[in-house]
Amino acid sequence: MTDRLSEEGLTAEVLARLDATSDPRLREIMQALVRHLHAFAREIRLTDDEWLAGIRFLTETGHKCDEVRQEFILLSDTLGLSSLVDLINHSDVESMATEPTILGPFYVPESPWRENGDSIVEYDDGGQPTIVRGVVHGEDGAAIAGAVIDVWHNAATGFYAVQQPDEQPATNLRGRFRTDADGRYEFRTVRPVPYPIPNDGPVGHLLRETGRHEWRAAHIHLKVSADGFRPLTTHVFDRQSDYLDSDTVFGVKDSLIADFAPGPDGVLVCEYDFVLHGDEQGEIA
């Protein structure tokens, strides 16, 4: 007759079997995952019904994913995990470089190349005409010519082009620009607006059940890259937007908030300079 297996003994047994994992990083990850999962279950005294509800939730999350929508990224975003991973990998409190933030679920690679000053608007959404411009430079203040600005954001209706393939052109409010000899960039667009993340799936249900809203503060997404510099993925947030203090994916950083102010002709202007970190070799996107 053998001794009954204890809760701690089971955890130790699982960890011991994972010792055979040949890849050291995979072994480290899996053993840490098991330790934390088992500790979580013991701490809250997870019931059979609760365990099954969790399985169903994850299954429904997977079923909601397709080529356009990634429900698991939404889940990661709303739990703050995406922002935590960003901080772990990209936070440098001593750096003068622009702070990064999360990629989000609506990025589409290979946006069309456009000339400096061009408009990215291909769909009349009634939004406020806006000019976004600035300079890309290194931490030493030297302008970076030929840097790539890859930009995308939502229409004034609240939707990204990828969310409305039958209504918006696929490349609406998307584009890639190169900085000029003085490191300057400029493009015309419409003012971004706050919008709810997709809330008709398990992530939306979880937000409602936990007393949270599904809204993101108004922002423009940008990826900025140049040879010899660390690529940057970030946002520029509208200072007048709602939800800056409660962005549902925890993506707002004070340094990324900018003014959208009327210019002499009444068109809104947002001026924002990007500073790239130069201590790692990077490639232009």
Report whether 136 contacts 147 (CB < 8 A): yes
- Please count the structural domains in the chain: 2
Q: Give pLDDT, residue 96.
A: 87
Instruction: Report the share of the chain in percent with pLDDT over 90.
Output: 88
Domain that holds residue 211: 71-276
Report whether 280 contacts 211 (CB < 8 A): no
Mean pLDDT over all residues of the chain?
94
* Whether residue 88 sits in one domain with residue 28: no
* Whether residue 94 sits in one domain with residue 212: yes
Name the 3-class secondary structure at 151.
strand
* Whether residue 36 sits in one domain with residue 78: no
* Whether residue 136 sits in one domain with residue 103: yes
The bridge status of strand 195-196 relative to strand 148-152 is unpaired
Determine, yes or no, domain membership for 240: yes
* Whether residue 22 sits in one domain with residue 152: no
Determine, yes or no, domain membership for 283: no
What is the per-residue pLDDT across 196-243, written as a single tens digit (0 to 9) for each? 999 999 999 999 999 999 999 999 999 999 999 999 999 999 999 999
DSSP string, 166-226: TTS-TTTTEEEEE--TTSEEEEEEE----EEPP-SSHHHHHHHHTT---EE--EEEEEEE-
* Whether residue 245 sits in one domain with residue 164: yes
1 band by pLDDT with thresholds 50, 70 and 90: very low
Longest CA–CA separation in the chain, Å? 87
Checking if the pLDDT of 281 tops 60, the result is no
